[in-house]
Structure 1
Amino acid sequence: MRHCFEELEFDLPSALLNQLVQLFEEMPEGSLDAATVQGIDDAQGVYQLFFNGTLVYIGKTDAQAGLRARLLRHAIRIRSRRNLSHDTIGFKAVRVFVFTAMDLEELLIRHYKASPTPPTWNLSGFGSNDPGRNRDHTVLKAGHFDKSYPIDLELPVSLVAQNGEASAADVLAQLKGQLDYNIRFEGAPGKPKSPHPDLIAATVQLKSTDDTVLNILRRVKAALGPDWQITALPGYVIVYCESTNYKEGIKIESM
């Protein structure tokens, strides 16, 4: 028998999670390439990435960085890595009009972590930003995304230069603008966001403005001289005035 006052406790997160899981299960995978992703609304939502048909990553977007922009970024990231190709990566994306995408991401990760196929890339560093100078000596564990899929130094890039010359600072800045992985270089004393004076003063001789990342970094090293070191770490490149051995790093020498 009902009364004039009753209580209703509705588990909205669980209900929404169940609907999302069912919807994802019914959806086909799309190919993570620019042509497919361009047809998606740049809106708030959640998405899944698949590697050879296996769920590996769950992500979210908001109004500032929508689904299209985020998925395009992931497509570029895959292009910038060895051992990965577009034809092995698929995605599913759902625009969400209610609730918060952040809560949904956490709910989905928690749900799939308990499944037979947990999203392994969520736990391996995929999508993370540059960890900073203090982490350059970190030895990555087996299975870490950067260790399994290190950066590709053989990617072709195209630079802008006058008469085949440009400062090392300009070359490195242009590389950063074309690559998904970071190229971090030493800043000016007291002004870490500005290039070091040596990088501005050094002139890089470019045999061609169309070349691979590796060949261009070799020419930057030649311009900087022996006091500077360029190191390719699994997930990014660092350029500093130093002489240091990194367990996970490869020194790039002059051509």
Structure 2
Amino acid sequence: MSSENHAEFKLSITKALGDQLAAALEELTPAPLTMENIRALRSSPGVYQLYKDGDLVYVGKADRSLPQRIEKHYRKISGRTNILLAQMTFTCLYVDEDFGAVAPERLLINQHRGEGKVPWNYNGFGNNDPGKRRDTTEVDEGHFDHDHPIDLEYKLTGLSAERSPGASLASLLQAVKLQLPYVFRYQSSVDFDGISIELPIGDLTADEVLRVVAQRLPEAWQITALPGYLIMYPKIEDYPSARRCYRSTGVVDILR
């Protein structure tokens, strides 16, 4: 019996959506990753793509606000070494909220991964605070934090101007945590409100502030600069990926 009058047909709706999303983004001209361009965006959900030196490195989505999500990446990159914001551009599409159920960013990632693009989707770039259990994990080569560790020369502004003589360590730590473009996690197990601290006049780097803070910490406390974030705990410990340690006895640089 002839079978020429029938055959199998498989419809891949997800592939079709991925193709359409990629095509729509391809038509856009990447804009420099600046706060001016980010704030010009509408506060709506959508998908976006980040480019480094013209190469597509990351695809993401914003469930509520594209500018809010992209600004987080702006801040993260601004506080890293071996990379400049001037190297970064972006494109984005506003996407209906109902479209989120089909994971549009995953469609785009699948679309580009086979072409060797979007490496930052697989190297930890999109991670937030990894949690205390990851503090003792060694960061591998190729990880975003390994290739672009936090910038300890990042400038903090207004800390001395806003603080009266003898202000508390607790208030300083809160101010530093808010300004830093990377995670600063610390344990408040002592009365930091009862420890006074003064800073030199003028804008200071994160490193300069941390040196002053370390001198006012109780014994056995340590501030550790890990590749992707800072931690401060009441324990002297050698962390596998530590780059610098601040203690009341001095600062220790770890060469790697």
TM-score in terms of structure 2 length: 0.86
Counterpart in the other structure of 2:236: 243
Q: CA RMSD in A?
A: 1.9
Q: 2:226 aligns with which of 227, 233, 240?
A: 233
Aligned to 2:3: none
Deviations 1:137-156 (A, max 9, x none): 11111110011111111111
Matched, 1:217 2:210: yes
Structure 2: 5+ residue stretches without partners: 1-8, 252-256
**Percent of residue pairs bearing the same amino acid type:** 36
Paired position in structure 1 for 2:33: 32
Give the counterpart letter for 2:180 in structure 1. Answer: L
**1:202 deviation in Å?**
2.2
Residue 93 of structure 1: aligned partner: 92
The 2-side partners of 1:173 and 1:207 are apart by: 18
Question: How many angstroms apart in 1 are the aligned matches of 2:17 and 2:102?
Answer: 13
Equivalent pairs, count: 236
Residues 75-133 of structure 1: CA distance to partner in whole angstroms, max 9, x if unpaired?
Answer: 11111111111110111100112521661111111121111x32111111112111111
Following the alignment from structure 1 to structure 2, what is the Cα–Cα distance between the partners of residues 46 and 101? 13
2:170 corresponds to which letter in structure 1?
A: A
- Per the alignment, in what secondary structure is the counterpart of residue 93 of structure 1? strand
Cα deviation, residue 168, structure 1: 2.1
Alignment of 1:127-142 (within 5 A): 127-142=126-141
Amino acid at match of 2:246: I
Which amino acid in 2 is paired with 1:111? Q
Gaps in structure 1 of 5+ consecutive residues: 1-7, 187-194
Q: Secondary structure at the match of 2:152?
A: coil
**Mapping 1:143-158, distance limit 5 Å:** 143-158=142-157
- For residues 101 and 39 of structure 1, the distance between their equivalents in structure 2, rounded to whole angstroms, comes to 26
- Does the Cα contact within 8 Å between 2:156 and 2:179 map onto a contact in 1? yes
Deviation (angstroms), 1:167: 2.1
Letter paired with 2:233: Y
Helix, strand or coil: the match of 2:236? coil
Secondary structure, counterpart of 1:205 in structure 2: coil
The alpha-carbon deviation at position 203 of structure 1 amounts to 1.8
1:67 Cα offset (Å): 0.6
How far, CA to CA, are the matches of 2:215 and 2:44 in structure 1? 46
Structure 1 residues 208 and 234, CA gap change in structure 2 (3 angstroms):
same
* SS in structure 2 at match of 1:100: helix
Question: How far apart are residue 213 of structure 1 and its match?
Answer: 0.9
What does 1:164-203 align with in structure 2 at a 5 Å threshold? 165-186=166-187, 195-203=188-196
SS class of match (1:107): helix
AA paired with 1:55?
Answer: L
Deviations 1:165-207, CA, capped at 9 Å, x for gaps: 3322221111111122111111xxxxxxxx2224333222212
